[in-house]
Amino acid sequence: MKMEKVMKRKKARMMMMEKMMNRKKKANNMRKEDEGEGEEADEDEENEKGEEEEGEEEEGEEEEREEEEMEEEEREEEEREEEEEREEEEEREEEEREEEEKKEEEEEEEKLAKSEKDEEGEGEEVDKDKEEEEVDKDEEDGERR
């Protein structure tokens, strides 16, 4: 967008300058014709036109090169932005995968811890039962005496 506006402004400026040059030439020719130098003025004008046309062609070619360079820069910038977006997306996906793996590991650890507690819990119940039996025996022994 900016490039198009810049190019339009350049073209408008060039056209204005060309119009001014033509007006100056006409004024010069009119003055010279009035002074009797019309034929020489015509030859000079043709030479100037030839030089001016060559200059305009060179400027036109230069403008085209500049425009192509600007378009190339825009394409490169777009490609860089797209590459950055892809990299960011890949990073987000990697982070999500890592988070999921971490959650899965935590869940597995919780399951293991729970199963270990269950096993210990059964062992504790057995120990409690044995302790109760011993206490009961001690009480019975104490009562017998």
Q: What is the pLDDT of residues 31-53, one digit of tens each?
A: 888 777 555 556 666 777 777 77
Average pLDDT for the chain:
82
Range with lowest mean pLDDT among 24-28, 108-112, 126-130: 126-130
Query: What does the H/E/C string look like for 38-103?
Result: HHHHHHHHHHHHHHHHHHHHHHHHHHHHHHHHHHHHHHHHHHHHHHHHHHHHHHHHHHHHHHHHHH
Cα–Cα distances in angstroms (integers) from residue 41 to residues 20, 36, 51, 77, 135, in the given order: 18, 9, 15, 52, 136
- Reported pTM: 0.36
pLDDT at 119: 72
Mean pLDDT confidence for 98-121: 86
CA pair distance 32, 38, nearest whole angstrom: 6
**In the chain, % of residues over pLDDT 90:** 41
Q: Give the model's confidence band at 56: pLDDT under 50 very low, under 70 low, under 90 confident, else very high.
A: confident
CA pair distance 26, 28, nearest whole angstrom: 5
Mean pLDDT confidence for 13-17: 94
Mean pLDDT confidence for 72-85: 93
